[in-house]
Amino acid sequence: MTSRPFEILPSIDVRGGKVVDLYQGDFAQETVYNDAAETVARRFVDAGCRWIHMVDLDGSRDGTGRNKGIIRRVSEVAKRSGVRLELGGGIRSLDAVAAALELGVDRAVIGTAAVEQPEMVGEAVVRFGADAIVVGIDSRDGLVATRGWTAGSTVRAAALARQMVERGVVRFVCTDITRDSTLTEPNFASLEEIALAVADSGARVIASGGVTTVEQVRRLKDAGLEGAIIGSALYVGKMRLEDALAAAGHDGPIQQQAEIR
């Protein structure tokens, strides 16, 4: 039986129409990058990624859809190259999932609604298919945070993962907020706890937050996770996407389907 490839998902976070990076999810500690989101996406595509992870931070905090144009443009860049797109941020209803998929997104990441409206997640799995739905579990000290990481909860991350598996979820993106954008390392213990909690179901876990070195990529791969989302380390030059892809076992860029202009 062929094992699943370990995926590297370079991340593009957008707020107010710009590519940004938030330190530990703090909107007051924002770095703004000059390149347009589609320019960043082209750079990731050229490096050979097979997935791009995108976050609408305006949607995460207040549910607005002001970045739809940017999301669609990134989706077009991805589709022309055979690359797939995953989107999170403010997806809290079936209509929001449908709207994301209509923009050309392949997978919609549901975070806040998994805590506040768990039944909706099950309905989304039935309506759109399990492969189109990802549950984002963002946590501090093991407790889930919601609404763009601005609201806390008493729900433990591993417990939420088990609840979501019962509703048909097969994939999770798990972020330790205290590691996000810190250029340190992922919370390996937390990731392994969540992966163990859903192991019997066959559900898969993608790591996010703090991934900074190729050695960490290899460790996440060896731990049996499905992939890693990398953002800050790529933007500040701590790690090359090509090196992360090589550490993950990628052979090289996928066949280009059309020239990107």
Active site residues: 13, 138
Closest alpha carbon to 27 in 148, 208, 112, 152: 148
CA-angle at 144, arms to 140 and 148, nearest 5°: 90
C-beta separation of 103 from 77 below 8 A:
no
Closest alpha carbon to 208 in 187, 224, 194: 187
Q: What is the DSSP letter of 190?
A: H
Closest alpha carbon to 93 in 72, 107, 114: 114
How far apart CA 150 and CA 10 sit, in angstroms, is: 24
Q: What is the DSSP letter of 20?
A: E
Give residues with Cβ within 8 angstroms of 199, minimum separation 6: none
Give residues with Cβ within 8 angstroms of 86, minimum separation 6: 9, 51, 52, 53, 54, 105, 106, 107, 108, 109, 134, 173
How far apart CA 259 and CA 128 sit, in angstroms, is: 31
Q: Which residue has the tokens 């859809």?
A: 65
C-beta separation of 138 from 151 below 8 A:
no
